[in-house]
Amino acid sequence: MYHTLREHYWWPFMKKEIAEYVKKCLICQQVKAERQKPSGLLQPLRIPEWKWEHLTMDFVFKLPRTQNKHDGVWVIVDRLTKSAHFLSVRANYTLNKLAKIFIDEIVTLHRVPISIISDRDPWFTSRLWTKLNEAFGTQLRFSTAFHP
């Protein structure tokens, strides 16, 4: 913290005062680098052997409404070919409705995927979605947010 502040500010006993402040600050103590686990190495994803067996998916919402009142797009991408389905959806769709769309639009065209990678969106972490993947035998994996 001292080095960051030093670039823009200076006052007498600055380093000592900052050290005392940080020592008393609970949040500062919790996020100190020494208290954090070291980051692991990035793990590359294996290249799929067959198309539409391994998918990534995410939702994009807060789009202008269509005539059918859809305000979002469900993006489902095959990891091997990079071909994609862009499914028009509404933010207020139930999980059952989304599961039906997935079966109708993806499973009937390409068969049940082996794995799905998505961010930690509540739709994907829900109990229904977990149960659906268990029933299909699909492995659900989570990526970091905004990088499915």
- The DSSP bridge partners found for residue 87 are 74
Q: What is the pLDDT of residues 90-128, one digit of tens each?
A: 999 988 899 899 999 999 999 999 999 988 878 778 877
Q: Which of 29, 9, 10 is nearest to 19 (CA)?
A: 29
Give the confidence band of 142 by pLDDT, cuts at 50, 70, 90.
Answer: confident
Helices (H), 42-126: 95-102, 108-110, 122-125
Q: 63 and 134: one domain?
A: yes
The tokens describing 45, both together, are 């994803």
- Residue 119 corresponds to which tokens in the numbers above? 């961010």
**Residue 136 falls inside a structural domain:** yes
CB 14 within 8 A of CB 6: yes
Handedness of CA 26, 28, 31, 36 (dihedral sign): negative
Q: Which structure tokens are listed for 143?
A: 């990526």
Q: What are 59-100's pLDDT values in tens digits?
A: 999 999 999 999 999 999 999 999 999 999 999 998 889 989
**Same domain? 110 vs 77:** yes
pLDDT over 70 for what percent of the chain?
91
In this structure, the answer to whether residues 61 and 89 fall within a common structural domain is yes
Task: Name the residue range of residue 122's domain.
Answer: 54-142
**Closest to 57 (Cα-Cα) out of 115, 107, 108:** 115
Q: Is residue 48 part of a domain?
A: no
Please report the DSSP string for 70-118 in residue order. Answer: --EEEEEEETTT--EEEEEE-TT--HHHHHHHHIIIIIHHH---SEEEE
Mean per-residue pLDDT for 5-25? 88
Which residues are paired to 88 by β-bridges? 73
For residue 68, being part of any structural domain is answered with yes
Closest CA to 19 of 8, 7, 5, 9: 5
| Predicted confidence (pLDDT) at residue 134 exceeds the cutoff of 70 | yes
Indicate whether 115 and 69 sit together in one domain. Answer: yes
Domain count, the chain: 2
129 and 67, same structural domain?
yes
3-state secondary structure of 71: coil
14 plus 59 within the same structural domain? no
Distance CA(78)–CA(84), nearest Å, equals: 6
